[in-house]
Amino acid sequence: MGLKLVRIDDRFIHGQVAVAWTKFLGIDQIIVANDTVANDDFQRSLMEFAKPPDVEIAILTISGTIEKIKGNFFKGKNIILLVDSPQDILKMIYEGVEIQKVNIGGMRYKEGRQQVTRTVSLNDDEKGAFYQLHSLGIELEFRAIPTDSKVDFMKLLGGKKMAKVVLKNISKYYGDVMAVNDFNLEIQDREFIVLVGPSGCGKSTTLRMIAGLEEITDGELYIGDKKVNDVPPKDRDIAMVFQNYALYPHMNVYENMAFGLKLRKYSKEEIDKRVNEAAKILGIENLLKRKPKELSGGQRQRVALGRAIVRNPQVFLMDEPLSNLDAKLRVQMRTEISKLHHRLQTTMIYVTHDQTEAMTMGDRIVVMKDGVIQQVASPQEIYDKPKNVFVAGFIGSPAMNFIDAAIIEKGSDLYLKFEGVELKIPAGKSKVIREKGYVGKEVIMGIRPEDLHDEPVFIESSPESVIEPVVEVVEKMGAENYLYLVLGGVQLTARVDARSKAVVDSKIKIAFDMNKVHIFDKETEESI
Type and span of the H or E element at 240: strand 238-241
What distance in Å separates the CA atoms of residue 83 and residue 147, rounded to the nearest whole number?
21
Strand partners, 416: 407, 423
CA distances from 229 to 189, 236, 308, 313, 522 (A): 19, 10, 22, 18, 40
Identify whether residues 322 and 180 lie together within a single domain. Answer: yes
CATH number of the domain bearing residue 264: 3.40.50.300
Strand partners, 364: 193
Identify whether residues 149 and 113 lie together within a single domain. Answer: yes
pLDDT of residue 288: 95
Identify whether residues 192 and 341 lie together within a single domain. Answer: yes
Sign of torsion over alpha carbons 221, 222, 227, 230: negative
Identify whether residues 186 and 140 lie together within a single domain. Answer: no
CA distances from 182 to 122, 173, 194, 501 (A): 40, 11, 18, 51
Is 361 among the domain residues? no
Residue (of 308, 309, 301, 319) closest to 206 by Cα position: 319
Q: Is 302 helix (H, G, I), strand (E, B) or coil?
A: helix
What distance in Å separates the CA atoms of residue 511 and residue 421, rounded to the nearest whole number?
12
- DSSP letters, 468-513, are -PEEEEEEE-SSEEEEEEEETTEEEEEEEETT----TT-B--EEE-
What distance in Å separates the CA atoms of residue 159 and residue 342, rounded to the nearest whole number?
13
Give the model confidence (pLDDT) of 400-433 as tens digits.
Answer: 999 999 999 999 999 999 999 999 999 989 999 9
Helices 124-135, 86-94: axis angle to 10 degrees equals 40
Is 28 among the domain residues? yes
Type and span of the H or E element at 301: helix 297-309
Is 71 among the domain residues? yes
Structural domain harbouring 302: 165-350
pLDDT of residue 114: 38
Beta strands at 510-512 and 452-453: parallel, antiparallel or unpaired: antiparallel
Identify whether residues 129 and 175 lie together within a single domain. Answer: no
Is 360 among the domain residues? no
CATH number of the domain bearing residue 120: 3.40.35.10
Is 325 among the domain residues? yes
Strand partners, 171: 218
Type and span of the H or E element at 141: strand 139-142
Identify whether residues 328 and 430 lie together within a single domain. Answer: no
Is 101 among the domain residues? yes
Total count of residues recorded for the chain:
528
CATH number of the domain bearing residue 454: 2.40.50.100
Is 44 among the domain residues? yes
Q: How many domains does the chain have?
A: 3
Identify whether residues 222 and 102 lie together within a single domain. Answer: no
* Of the residues 106, 131, 157, the one at which a domain ends: 157
Beta strands at 347-352 and 177-187: parallel, antiparallel or unpaired: unpaired
Identify whether residues 190 and 62 lie together within a single domain. Answer: no
* Of the residues 318, 350, 382, the one at which a domain ends: 350
Q: In this structure, are residues 195 and 208 in contact, taking their beta carbons and an 8 Å threshold?
A: no
What distance in Å separates the CA atoms of residue 195 and residue 357, rounded to the nearest whole number?
10
Residue-wise pLDDT tens for the chain (528 aa)?
A: 445 445 544 444 444 555 666 666 677 777 888 887 777 777 777 667 666 677 788 888 888 888 888 888 887 777 777 787 788 888 888 777 877 777 776 544 333 333 434 444 566 667 777 777 776 777 777 765 565 666 666 665 655 555 789 999 999 999 999 999 999 999 988 899 999 999 999 999 999 999 999 999 999 999 988 899 999 998 888 999 888 878 899 999 999 999 989 988 889 998 998 899 889 888 899 999 999 999 988 899 889 989 988 888 889 999 998 888 888 888 888 888 888 887 777 899 999 999 999 999 999 999 999 999 999 999 999 999 999 999 999 999 999 999 999 999 999 999 999 999 999 999 989 999 999 999 999 999 999 999 999 999 999 999 999 999 999 999 999 999 999 999 999 999 999 999 999 999 999 999 999 999 999 999 999 999
Identify whether residues 260 and 194 lie together within a single domain. Answer: yes
Residue (of 373, 369, 374, 397) closest to 385 by Cα position: 374
What distance in Å separates the CA atoms of residue 287 and residue 15, rounded to the nearest whole number?
57
What distance in Å separates the CA atoms of residue 374 and residue 252, rounded to the nearest whole number?
43
The contacts found for 10-13 with CB under 8 angstroms, 24 or more apart, are 10/106, 11/105, 11/106, 11/144, 12/47, 12/50, 12/82, 12/106, 13/46, 13/47, 13/50
| Residue 1 amino acid letter | M
Identify whether residues 8 and 143 lie together within a single domain. Answer: yes
The set of residues, in sequence order, having a beta carbon less than 8 Å from that of 429 and lying 6+ positions away, is: 414, 514, 517, 519
* Of the residues 124, 157, 190, the one at which a domain ends: 157
CA distances from 362 to 118, 126, 313, 342, 400 (A): 28, 16, 19, 12, 21
Identify whether residues 319 and 410 lie together within a single domain. Answer: no
Q: In this structure, are residues 286 and 254 in contact, taking their beta carbons and an 8 Å threshold?
A: no
Is 387 among the domain residues? no
Q: Is 83 helix (H, G, I), strand (E, B) or coil?
A: strand
Identify whether residues 317 and 218 lie together within a single domain. Answer: yes
